[in-house]
Amino acid sequence: MPKSSPKDPGSPTGKFSDQRSSNRKKSDVPRKSTGLGTVILFWPFLIFHGLISPLPKFVRIPLRLLGDPAIAGLYAALLLGGFYFIRAQPFDMAKVAEMPERTVIYDRRGEELGRIHGEKRDVIRVEDVSQDFIFAILAREDKRFYTHHGVDWIGVGRAMVQNFKRGGVAQGASTLTMQLARNSFALKSKWLDFSPKLQELDRKLLETAVSYRIESHYEKEEVLQHYVNRIFWGHQIRGIEEASRTYFEKHAKELTLSESALLAGIVRGPNAFSPFNDMEKAVRERDSVLDRMVLEGFIPQDQADTAKKDPITIRPEWRRIFHDSYAMDAIRRELERILEEENIELGGLQITTTIDSLIQKKAEEALDAKLRQIERTPGYPHQTRAAWNELPADKKSRPQYLQGSVVAIENLTGAVLAIVGGRNADESKFNRALQGRRQIGSVFKPFVYLAGFESGIRPNTLIDDGPLNIGGWRPKNSDGTFGGMLPASTGLIRSRNTMSVRIGSRAGIEKVSDTAISVGFETPIPKSPTSYLGAWEASTYEVASAYTVFPNSGVRYAPRIIKEIRDRNGNVVWPEKGDSPYISYQAVNPGSAWSVSNILKEVTTRGTAASVKSLGFNKPCGGKTGTTNDYKDAWFAGYTSSITCAVWVGLDTPKKTIDRGYGSTLALPVWVEVMKTADKLGYKAEGLKSQLSFVECRLCRTSGKRATAGCERAQEAYTDNVPVDNVPAENDLCPDHPAKAIPVDGVIEEEPTTGRPPKAQEIIDEGPIQEEMEPEVLKAIPVDEDEIR
């Protein structure tokens, strides 16, 4: 029987074989398998689909239509979360706690003078904030603050529902942490400026990521502390302490429930709801916060009702203006020299200055009182301050009324006790004490005599008071007269111009110029004999500092206004450890300074400043008046053993102030008031003593050198007690009286003489001497010592 073919369909074996063949072919076809990467990437979809696969088709389809987009949204959220988590990493969390705050300025007594730099803020601890305010701000802004981790998702959901119900009306859901993130960092992306809505969404997402970082970096109490210190309350006010001080004139710890609720209520619209701008709106917001506090369980209803009845007492309008001062201007200028720009911008420093607020206040009051008195005199020809203040705001220009400046310095430290640069810093920012440079006139003469004494002249050396002709310039004396030979001291006491020029010429212009620079004048004086009479300009600050060499026996302490600087942690940052804030040097010889000081004491007893006693100051003092041509500038610079003070009075545009507007009339009374106050405060005006050693020696009256036999025969020799550093050398003999006793006058007269020096005039105490006015100097005259005739 023939063998059946495997392909024979009739054969049972063939049929089975065909089936196996068919099955084998099917198994040989590769099956589509799910890769590991797909599983990892799409496992939420796979699990979801696996879970719903047993369900009927009509159930599976709706579930997939809802579930797949939800899972896709989860994917998108994770991607966004990762993206914004990475973007949030560069933000320095330490910056959250770094807040620019006001630098506080104190006087030497610890009294606050003012605040500068930084922002209008005081950073305080959360423990120093009223608990009522903490409850109020939580009830108003973030009731779940202690339970969320930066974002209140319950609040976000509620806001979304409310926004949907209201047809898209936005309702916020920012937590305190999110507000802190927004206030601490610049979160807006400039590359999204083309789409404000997209930019706002980007900012909100970044704010969320940064909020989580803040919560992970800080404890809840720290977050709350940084928030209450950063928050904005309108009117440039930042932080709860400054808001409490500005609105209610009290510390944040002392806020009542009513006040706390009001401040919490105006946070969302500080300028719109400010009690300074609209009290009705502010009270409405307060009541709303109190209701929320009851609703959230922070206070009972009866407490809220009582708080709603409390009257609101805010800072009165006249105390809302923070006035500037010339002392603060000087302090700002000094700080800019000492501090780095970063320290200035960040603020938060505690600056102790040398200013004595009591002397500062008296100097301001005394200056304005004296100038008001002058302005009230009949026929006063200039604008008065009262008239300027009455002008409408749109008609006011730069004040043209009478001005002045005062600087008081502590002798033995250089500490500036008071600095007044005008009558009102709000009305005129120009600080005349520092920036105003005016012709100083006779106030400079003591330094000419100082240079002369260092060049060998003695107070008893005879100086001619006769006429002079220097290149056509003929300086005159205030009384129009000329005298004979007078002691040098008399020339300074009586402020004789001709004698001052002769003394300056004997010292030499270079010596006088060097002396001026050494004692503190900043600008070299003109190389002209007119400089001997103060025909050049300086500031009140320079004059006051220069005059300290007289009570200090020639030592000058560099003037300073900053005593100490501490950072916000109380650490001293200036002066550096080991450095002394006192900088001193020997500016001139002690003996010369002592000699001039003795003469300046006589100026205040029988010279141009003799009225000091009748004005009410009876303590030992020295000083010099000065009045420039046509009464344009009135000066007085003087000192006691403790303090040196300089006063200037004049108009900003130099012109005649009043007839007989002498320094003794306009400036000296202000000086007296300052000194009387200083003496009462403990800056004692004791006798001006010196520790110098003196040597008795025989000198010549005309040359100031050691007397020779010729001096004796000419009856010009005298015995003097000379400071040891001014004693002429043994061989430094008088050149005017050689052995043959032929007298030689060292200063040639304008008119020929008989060959013998004029006889010394007898010194008669004539009582107080009328103050002089400096002769007009029309041009700078070059110095040629040989031309002095």
If asked whether residues 275 and 148 sit together in one domain, one would say: yes
Residue type, 497: N
Q: What is the pLDDT of residues 759-781, one digit of tens each?
A: 433 333 333 445 555 544 434 44
Q: Is residue 720 part of a domain?
A: no
68 is in which domain, residue-wise? 43-86
Query: Of 46-50, 168-172, 366-370, where does mean pLDDT reach its minimum?
Result: 168-172
How would you label 396-425 residue by residue, b for 16+ Cβ within 10 Å and e otherwise?
Answer: eeebbbbbbbbbbbbbebbbbbbbbbbbbb
Q: Is residue 303 part of a domain?
A: yes
DSSP strand pairing (350-353 vs 103-106): parallel
∠ CA 147-151-152, rounded to 5°: 60
Report whether 103 contacts 117 (CB < 8 A): yes
If asked whether residues 54 and 198 sit together in one domain, one would say: no
If asked whether residues 153 and 60 sit together in one domain, one would say: no
If asked whether residues 154 and 255 sit together in one domain, one would say: yes
Angle between helices 279-295 and 301-309 (to 10 degrees): 170
Cα–Cα distance measured from residue 152 to residue 268, given in angstroms and rounded to the nearest whole number: 18
Supply the pLDDT for residue 747.
35
Query: Which residues on adjacent β-strands are paired with residue 358?
Result: none
Cα–Cα distance measured from residue 410 to residue 645, given in angstroms and rounded to the nearest whole number: 9
Distances (CA, A) of 104 to 139, 249, 393, 450, 718: 33, 17, 32, 42, 61
Query: Does residue 305 surpass a pLDDT of 60?
Result: yes
pLDDT band, very low/low/confident/very high, at 709 (cuts 50, 70, 90): confident
Return the closest-CA partner of residue 252 out of 94, 131, 431. 131
- In this prediction, what percent of the chain has a pLDDT beyond 70? 84
Q: Is residue 632 part of a domain?
A: no
DSSP 745-761: -SS--SS---SSPPPBP
**Backbone phi and psi for residue 564, each to the nearest 5 degrees, phi listed first:** -160, 145
For 274, the token pair is: 């400010």
What's the mean pLDDT in 20-35?
Answer: 47
Residue after which a domain boundary falls, among 272, 299, 319 = 319
Q: Positive or negative, the Cα torsion across 142, 146, 150, 154?
A: negative
Cα–Cα distance measured from residue 596 to residue 549, given in angstroms and rounded to the nearest whole number: 10
DSSP 331-389: HHHHHHHHS-HHHHHHB--EEEES--HHHHHHHHHHHHHHHHHHHTSTT--S--HHHHH
Q: Is residue 359 part of a domain?
A: no
∠ CA 554-558-560, rounded to 5°: 140
Q: Is residue 240 part of a domain?
A: yes
Supply the pLDDT for residue 172.
55
Return the closest-CA partner of residue 467 out of 422, 419, 509, 502. 502
Supply the pLDDT for residue 218.
94
Longest Cα pair distance anywhere in the chain, in angstroms? Answer: 185
Burial level of 304, CB count in 10 A (0-12/13-18/19+)? buried
For 200, the token pair is: 């706002």
pLDDT band, very low/low/confident/very high, at 39 (cuts 50, 70, 90): low
Cα–Cα distance measured from residue 436 to residue 405, given in angstroms and rounded to the nearest whole number: 9
Query: Does residue 420 surpass a pLDDT of 70?
Result: yes
Q: pTM of the full predicted structure?
A: 0.76
Residue length of the chain: 789
The CB-side HSE value for 212 (13 A sphere, CA atoms) comes to 14
If asked whether residues 60 and 206 sit together in one domain, one would say: no
Instruction: Pick left, alpha or beta for residue 168 (phi over 0 → left; psi -120 to 50 → alpha; otherwise beta).
Output: left
If asked whether residues 70 and 141 sit together in one domain, one would say: no
The CB-side HSE value for 36 (13 A sphere, CA atoms) comes to 0
What's the mean pLDDT in 728-755?
Answer: 57
Distances (CA, A) of 166 to 153, 160, 171, 185, 288: 20, 10, 9, 32, 21
Query: Of 357-366, 409-418, 730-739, where does mean pLDDT reach its minimum?
Result: 730-739
pLDDT band, very low/low/confident/very high, at 33 (cuts 50, 70, 90): low
Q: Positive or negative, the Cα torsion across 176, 181, 186, 189?
A: negative
Within 10 A of 205 (CB to CB), how many other CB atoms are there? 17
Cα–Cα distance measured from residue 250 to residue 244, given in angstroms and rounded to the nearest whole number: 6
Cα–Cα distance measured from residue 673 to residue 432, given in angstroms and rounded to the nearest whole number: 20
Residue 192: CATH number of its domain: 1.10.3810.10
Query: Which residues on adjacent β-strands are paired with residue 719?
Result: 698
For the chain, the domain total comes to: 2
Q: Is residue 741 part of a domain?
A: no
Q: Positive or negative, the Cα torsion across 760, 762, 766, 768?
A: positive
Residue type, 129: V
Q: What is the pLDDT of residues 502-515, one digit of tens each?
A: 999 999 999 999 99
How far from chain centre, in Å, is Cα 620?
A: 35
Report whether 589 contacts 554 (CB < 8 A): yes
DSSP strand pairing (717-723 vs 694-700): antiparallel
Higher per-residue pLDDT: 174 or 241: 241
What residues contact residue 682 under an 8 Å CB cut-off, 6+ apart? none
Cα–Cα distance measured from residue 167 to residue 19, given in angstroms and rounded to the nearest whole number: 69
If asked whether residues 157 and 224 sit together in one domain, one would say: yes
Residue after which a domain boundary falls, among 27, 61, 86 = 86
What's the mean pLDDT in 213-226?
Answer: 94
DSSP 227-240: HHHH-B-STTBBSH
pLDDT band, very low/low/confident/very high, at 301 (cuts 50, 70, 90): very high
Residue after which a domain boundary falls, among 255, 288, 319 = 319
Element (H, E) at 637: strand 633-639
Query: Which residues on adjacent β-strands are paired with residue 420?
Result: 406
Supply the pLDDT for residue 16.
39
DSSP 718-785: EEEEEEGGGPPPTT-B-SSS-TT-----SS--SS---SSPPPBPPP---SSPPPP-PPP--S-----G
What's the mean pLDDT in 558-583?
Answer: 86
If asked whether residues 142 and 54 sit together in one domain, one would say: no
If asked whether residues 226 and 292 sit together in one domain, one would say: yes
Q: What is the chain's mean pLDDT, rounded?
A: 84
Supply the pLDDT for residue 188.
81
If asked whether residues 81 and 126 sit together in one domain, one would say: no
**Backbone phi and psi for residue 398, each to the nearest 5 degrees, phi listed first:** -60, 130
Cα–Cα distance measured from residue 91 to residue 89, given in angstroms and rounded to the nearest whole number: 6
Query: Which residues on adjacent β-strands are paired with residue 351?
Result: 105, 565
Q: Is residue 297 part of a domain?
A: yes
If asked whether residues 176 and 244 sit together in one domain, one would say: yes
How far from chain centre, in Å, is Cα 190?
A: 35
Q: Is residue 614 part of a domain?
A: no
- In this prediction, what percent of the chain has a pLDDT beyond 90? 55
Q: What is the pLDDT of residues 435-475, one digit of tens each?
A: 999 999 999 999 999 999 999 999 999 999 999 998 889 99
Q: What is the pLDDT of residues 376-410, one digit of tens each?
A: 999 999 999 999 999 998 888 899 999 999 999 99
Query: Which residues on adjacent β-strands are paired with residue 416?
Result: 409
Supply the pLDDT for residue 36.
61
Name the range with the highest mean pLDDT among 154-163, 252-261, 341-350. 252-261
Q: What is the pLDDT of residues 514-527, one digit of tens each?
A: 999 999 999 999 99
Supply the pLDDT for residue 132.
96
What residues contact residue 412 under an 8 Å CB cut-off, 6+ apart? 552, 557, 642
If asked whether residues 164 and 313 sit together in one domain, one would say: yes
What residues contact residue 712 under an 8 Å CB cut-off, 6+ apart? none
Radius of gyration for the alpha carbons in the chain, expressed in angstroms and rounded: 44
